[in-house]
Structures are given as C-alpha cells and as structure tokens.
Amino acid sequence: MTLFQQIERIRYIHRLIRTESTGCPDRLAGRVHLSRRQLYNILEEIKDMGADIKYSRSRETFYYANPFVFQIEIEIKILPDAELAKYYAGSRIFLLPCKETARSTFTFAM
C-alpha cells in the first residue's frame, strides 16, 4: 500500500469517527479492509496525535470526545542540484527517471 493510500485510509476512518458512523469495530475493520488488530493500531496512532477516541456500545460507533482536526500537508517539488545541496549537503536522496528533461535522471527530495 502506498503512502497516499494509507493517508486516504486514515482520512476515511477519521471522517467516519467524526460523523459517528463507524459501526462496531469488526464492521469498521471490514469497511477499511483491515484486521481488527490493525484497526486498533491505527486508532492508537490517531490517539497519539491528540485525539480522544471513545466507543459507544449503545450507538455502536467510535467518536471523538474532544475537538480534533486531522490535517496532513505534503509538498513535493523538484529542486535544482544547487538548491538541493543546501538541504542535503550535496547528497542525492532518490534518482528517478524523468521524461520531461533532457537528463536521464533528476534529483527528488522529500
């Protein structure tokens, strides 16, 4: 699973928790194609970010007991070699093929 797929899965779980429409743990795990243990691992990660996640047996849903916003920002840009040297002391992080330039590779930094 790619990083972006993992982020999208967590965003989906967050939306279900925020709208209090997760269903029971087994149902939520099935909806996001995880085992129950994997689901609880993700819920622990969200809790580590500051969320107070509770479960209501009567409503059969997870919910946030505190105001919580889940926001991820990712910026990806191609840096020229000279600028990259400022960030990584001239070392190259990843070399990937690139069809947009005359060079056969370009430097990609995250």
pTM of the model: 0.68
User: Which domains are assigned to the chain?
Assistant: 3-64 (1.10.10.10), 77-109 (no CATH)
- Label residue 106 by pLDDT band (50, 70, 90): very low
Residue with tokens 């087994």: 26
Q: How far does CA 36 lie from the centroid of its chain?
A: 19
Q: How much is the pLDDT for 76? A: 80
Q: Does the pLDDT value for residue 109 go beyond 50?
A: no
Q: How much is the pLDDT for 81? A: 74
Instruction: Report in angstroms the alpha-carbon separations of 90 from 75, 80, 109.
Output: 21, 11, 11
Q: For 14-25, write each residue's pLDDT tens digit.
A: 999 999 999 999
**Under 8 Å CB-to-CB from 16, ≥6 apart: which residues?**
22, 28, 31, 62
The residue count of the chain comes to: 110
Parallel, antiparallel or unpaired: strands 94-97 and 61-64: unpaired
Q: For 28-87, write each residue's pLDDT tens digit.
A: 999 999 999 999 999 999 999 999 999 999 999 999 999 988 888 887 878 777 776 776
